[in-house]
Amino acid sequence: MSNAKNTLTTPLSFHFGALGLFLPALLFSAASIVLFACQRVFDLSALAAAAFVSLALGALLCKTPTRYWEAAVRSAASPLTASVLMLLLAGGVFSALMKASGLAAALAGLAGGFFTGSGIVLAGIFLTCALLATATGSSISTILTAAPVFLPAAAALGVDPSAASGAILSGAIFGDNLSPVSDVAIISAMTQTESDGSPAELGAVVASRAPLALAALIVALPLFLLHDGKLSAEAAASEFDAASLLMLIPVALLILLAVRTRNALFAMTAASLAAAAIGLAAGIYTPQDLFRTSNSGAEGALVDGIRSVSGLMLMLLSLLSLTGILEASNLAETFAEKLKRTSGGSLASETLIAAASLLFTALFAAVTSVSAAAAGTLSNRLCRQSVDACRRANLVAGFANSLPVLLPFSAFMLITASAAEAALGAGSVQGVEIAKSAYYPAALFLVLTASIVCRAIRSRRSALASELHSTETSHA
């Protein structure tokens, strides 16, 4: 029994050392960049193949392939993986129902006369998603909820779909960083302890995080408002089917249930059932619109919804398995052992925390809950004496939700782009263009970096003043 326990707890080791550990992740990152950034091809089935090849390569490089695959399967079967996959499945169905209902055209026709520029629309989408994500604590469900409602309506008004996708992503990240029920907020606080060993208090962590999160919002909001583009004049005058506005009921139900139950999967499935029932009763759908068979196979909104997320689900299955491998290698503990002799003041410590959070989040493809656990563990071990617990938690979560989420291979970027394509059709958005319009993560990085510099300046001034006072006292 003890030998089995030691086998499970012994970190995985790789041929070629760190290179063997990181090579699969680097291969997947390179494939994502080539497909999305270079060739501008958004094909999640191809990316799913790249993720599986990367995973298989890691088994060849691992010194114990059997334990490697055991770690991969454990991660693939984890509650986190199952929750993400089920949520994507439910989100795909909800998105297809909204797309088939004509709600987007109705919203565009109803709202077209009230707006004068695309910047107002983008700012409204950003703020709405920020509120929803903060209330629910779920960035993924916010993206999956907002995309089928806001993106087609924005596109009908003449707003750039990639810019609207960036606004949705920005709002989701705001809530992921700030919400007290967000997994990232909870994990970042749980991994930190005070100098006396007592755990960080979640309420204090969130309260101290709010000024940073709101400062980044203040930086990002004008960028959405100043976004170039005029709304389509045709959209304001277009006719629409008023019955489609009934689909706002399941949207409101989804938000209400998500906020009250904190269970995004229950909210999404209940809203989908409500959408199907209301749509059928109001004549918006026919049963054949939802599901039908033909010589070519099954068709309809339900089938289309599942197909729209199948590639993404397969890709994330391999990707989340890969994060399990990185966890099983005890990456954070290894870094801590290498750096435990590191010394320095608060500037050096805060810079180390920022770098660790950015690095781990990039390595874990912006699966921020996993990266926050890894970076949080490292930060707590190395910087507990030089940086207070709330500050460490805020740096870990904040930098995790900043620039890494905009990488072409990040889970957030992939989910946002996939949701946009499900709502608007293939080729409607480009990941690079979404990243250019997702102002909040970049603003958060700038605010956090500025806070580190400002704290270092204040600390230096305080030290100089103390030295000057000591000198004057000694002379006196």
pLDDT in tens, 29-67: 787 777 766 776 667 778 788 888 888 999 999 999 999
Q: What angle do the packed helices 79-101 and 139-156 form, to 10 degrees?
A: 20
- More confident position, 316 or 206: 206
| Mean pLDDT calculated for residue range 190-203 | 80
Cα 84 to the center of its chain, rounded Å: 11
Tokens of 407: 């990488």
| Mean pLDDT calculated for residue range 269-296 | 90
Statement: residue 439 has pLDDT above 90: yes
Q: Name residues whose C-beta falls within 8 Å of residue 229's C-beta, 6 or more positions apart in sequence.
A: 117, 118, 119, 158, 159, 160, 163
- Helix ranges (H only) for 112-198 are 118-136, 139-156, 161-178, 183-190
* Predicted local distance difference test score (pLDDT) of residue 422: 85
Statement: residue 7 has pLDDT above 50: no
- More confident position, 301 or 391: 391
Mean pLDDT score across all residues of the chain:
82
Contact 219, 447 (CB under 8 A): yes
Statement: residue 239 has pLDDT above 90: no
pLDDT-derived band at 474 (thresholds 50, 70, 90) equals low
* Predicted local distance difference test score (pLDDT) of residue 338: 63
Provide the greatest CA pair distance for the chain.
99
* Predicted local distance difference test score (pLDDT) of residue 398: 96
DSSP E strand stretches across 11-50: none
| Mean pLDDT calculated for residue range 306-331 | 80
* Predicted local distance difference test score (pLDDT) of residue 78: 84
Statement: residue 3 has pLDDT above 60: no
Predicted confidence (pLDDT) per residue in 176-191, tens digit: 898 887 888 888 888 8
Query: Which one-letter DSSP state was computed for residue 201?
Result: P
Calpha distance 175→177 (Å, rounded): 5
* Predicted local distance difference test score (pLDDT) of residue 447: 97
pLDDT-derived band at 390 (thresholds 50, 70, 90) equals very high
- More confident position, 44 or 144: 144
Statement: residue 395 has pLDDT above 70: yes
Statement: residue 282 has pLDDT above 70: yes
* Predicted local distance difference test score (pLDDT) of residue 255: 77
Contact 438, 211 (CB under 8 A): no
* Predicted local distance difference test score (pLDDT) of residue 472: 59
* Predicted local distance difference test score (pLDDT) of residue 466: 66
- More confident position, 265 or 272: 272
* Predicted local distance difference test score (pLDDT) of residue 343: 47
* Predicted local distance difference test score (pLDDT) of residue 450: 96
Tokens of 317: 């299955």
- Percent of the chain beyond pLDDT 70? 86
* Predicted local distance difference test score (pLDDT) of residue 179: 85
Calpha distance 82→88 (Å, rounded): 10
pLDDT-derived band at 198 (thresholds 50, 70, 90) equals confident
- More confident position, 330 or 166: 166
Amino acid symbol at 28: F
Calpha distance 99→379 (Å, rounded): 45
pLDDT-derived band at 448 (thresholds 50, 70, 90) equals very high
| Mean pLDDT calculated for residue range 342-348 | 64
- Residue 172, CA atoms < 13 Å, CB-side half-sphere: 25
* Predicted local distance difference test score (pLDDT) of residue 209: 92
* Predicted local distance difference test score (pLDDT) of residue 33: 75
Angle made by CA atoms 7, 337, 195, in degrees to the nearest 5: 110
171-185, 186-200, 393-407, range with the lowest pLDDT: 186-200
Calpha distance 115→386 (Å, rounded): 50
Q: Name residues whose C-beta falls within 8 Å of residue 302's C-beta, 6 or more positions apart in sequence.
A: 93, 96, 290, 291
pLDDT-derived band at 280 (thresholds 50, 70, 90) equals very high
Q: What separation in angstroms does the CA of 300 have from each of 28, 89, 297, 326, 417?
A: 33, 15, 10, 40, 22
